[in-house]
């Protein structure tokens, strides 16, 4: 299945960014992509660098966003994984991946379940933790295990998607470095980010794609300098083997061919699901065992 991962910087405003992304989707479709995956919160800058009640305005467009991306999916005849700021009710917002069918209908959605909160990544202020659980989205190209960014650090999320029949794991992401970190520390961070995701592919015998933005985004509050998003979007197969990898600083359409049938073969060789000790996993449901 031809899949395109669209990695790009924020283009200063909603209209320009939407236009840029739409053009990239069009180009990806022309290249033969059947599934197109966008980066986390792809319509805006990564606005969670500081806390401001005014920024909830960004979610006021949610209904319009749905219409817009539905049109794009329909026009280009692709299954499209978007990442939007959902206003669900006044004072209740989610970081939501909406998946559109190639006819423009909503195939399903996933509300980010694990919400980070660290200097420069104040997501607990903006996003209510998801309440839809870990449920794959059924589409014409397969059952998509869509998760979002911080979820990628949690093996539990990937496992449940796999147990519910996901055929691929998909991670729209916004992650980057602080320029003031040492080169060693930067490399450890990016390498850990790639490694943990490849491990979900391995543990579950599933292909996986991760899409991350690029570019430097200033902290407009002035509290910190800003974040340099490290791109490095990639696709791997069910043994965790890298099949495509993007640069760390350039806009890219990363086209890759994902073989959904290879999971059957790999899971026969490595039948991890067969031997899970479900009788002994109860402590997973605890915060800590003390």
Query: Binder to its own copies among 16, 19, 67, 273 (CB under 8 A)?
Result: 273
For position 155 contacting its own copies by CB under 8 A, the verdict is: yes
Between 68 and 178, whose beta carbon lies closer to its own copies? Answer: 178
For position 179 contacting its own copies by CB under 8 A, the verdict is: no
Which residues are CB-contacts of 74 (< 8 A; sequence separation ≥ 6)? 100, 102, 103, 104
For position 128 contacting its own copies by CB under 8 A, the verdict is: no
Token reading at 47 = 């606005």
Between 62 and 153, whose beta carbon lies closer to its own copies? Answer: 153
Query: Binder to its own copies among 12, 54, 183, 282 (CB under 8 A)?
Result: 282
For position 281 contacting its own copies by CB under 8 A, the verdict is: yes
Query: Binder to its own copies among 153, 219, 249, 262 (CB under 8 A)?
Result: 153
Query: Binder to its own copies among 22, 44, 52, 199 (CB under 8 A)?
Result: 199
Q: How many residues bind its own copies (CB under 8 A)?
A: 53
Which residues are CB-contacts of 71 (< 8 A; sequence separation ≥ 6)? 104
For position 277 contacting its own copies by CB under 8 A, the verdict is: yes
Between 11 and 224, whose beta carbon lies closer to its own copies? Answer: 224
For position 144 contacting its own copies by CB under 8 A, the verdict is: no
For position 89 contacting its own copies by CB under 8 A, the verdict is: no
Query: Binder to its own copies among 55, 106, 203, 244 (CB under 8 A)?
Result: 203
Catalytic residue among 86, 87, 101, 149: 149
d(C-alpha 259, C-alpha 290), whole Å: 44
Between 1 and 203, whose beta carbon lies closer to its own copies? Answer: 203
Tell me, yes or no, if 236 is annotated catalytic: no
Tell me, yes or no, if 40 is annotated catalytic: yes
For position 116 contacting its own copies by CB under 8 A, the verdict is: yes
Catalytic residues: 40, 112, 149
Residues in contact with its own copies by the rule CB under 8 A: 113-116, 118, 129, 133-134, 150, 153-157, 159-160, 163-165, 188-189, 191-192, 195-196, 198-200, 202-203, 239-241, 269-273, 275-278, 280-290
């Amino acid at each position: 299945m031809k899949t395109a991962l669209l990695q790009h910087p924020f283009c200063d405003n909603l209209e320009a960014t939407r236009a840029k992304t739409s053009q990239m989707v069009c180009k990806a479709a022309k290249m033969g992509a059947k599934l197109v995956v966008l980066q986390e919160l792809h319509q805006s800058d990564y606005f969670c660098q500081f806390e401001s009640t005014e920024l909830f305005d960004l979610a006021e467009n949610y209904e319009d966003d749905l219409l817009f991306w539905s049109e794009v999916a329909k026009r280009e005849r692709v299954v499209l994984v978007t990442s939007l700021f959902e206003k669900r009710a006044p004072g209740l917002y989610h970081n939501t991946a909406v998946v559109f069918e190639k006819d423009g209908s909503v195939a399903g959605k996933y509300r980010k379940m694990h919400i980070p909160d660290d200097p420069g990544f104040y997501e607990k202020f903006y996003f209510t933790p998801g309440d839809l659980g870990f449920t794959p989205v059924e589409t014409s190209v397969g059952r998509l295990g869509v998760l979002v960014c911080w979820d990628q650090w949690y093996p539990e999320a990937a496992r449940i998607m796999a147990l519910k029949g996901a055929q691929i794991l998909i991670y729209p992401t916004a992650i980057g470095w602080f320029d003031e970190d040492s080169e060693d520390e930067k490399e450890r961070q990016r390498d850990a980010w790639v490694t943990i995701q490849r491990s979900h592919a391995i543990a579950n015998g599933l292909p996986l794609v991760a899409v991350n933005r690029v570019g430097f985004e200033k902290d407009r509050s002035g509290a910190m300098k800003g974040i340099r998003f490290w791109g490095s979007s990639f696709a791997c197969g069910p043994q965790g083997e890298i099949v495509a990898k993007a640069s760390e600083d350039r806009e890219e359409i990363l086209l890759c061919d994902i073989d959904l049938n290879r999971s059957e073969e790999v899971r026969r060789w490595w039948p991890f699901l067969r031997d899970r000790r479900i009788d002994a996993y109860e402590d997973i449901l605890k915060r800590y065992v003390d």
